[in-house]
Amino acid sequence: MSDPTTINCEEALRLLATYLDGELGGAEREHVARHLKTCRSCYSRAEFERRLKAEFDGLRREEITPAFEQRVRRLITEF
């Protein structure tokens, strides 16, 4: 009989994105975490997805020009 607390690669990969987004709850999160500790292939995939996800952070903020900041300040004070 299979251990209900373990999941196979297919199931782990199905849940991986939600897990990496921090949106997986309770038991499922534990199952994925445990699977990644024991499966080198899925761990590699998870690390790749994690690093790719981190690359998005570079797009989070855009430099504000002095002219645009002034436009925003004027907008607020003139209302």
**Cβ pair 33, 62 in contact under 8 A:** no
Query: Can residue 69 be called a binding residue for another protein (CB under 8 A)?
Result: yes
Q: How far is CA 48 from CA 10, 62, 63, 66, in A?
A: 17, 25, 28, 38
Q: Which is nearer to another protein, 38 or 61 (CB)?
A: 61
Query: Can residue 76 be called a binding residue for another protein (CB under 8 A)?
Result: yes
Enumerate binding residues for another protein (CB under 8 A): 17-18, 21, 23, 44-45, 48-49, 51-53, 55-64, 68-69, 71-73, 75-77, 79
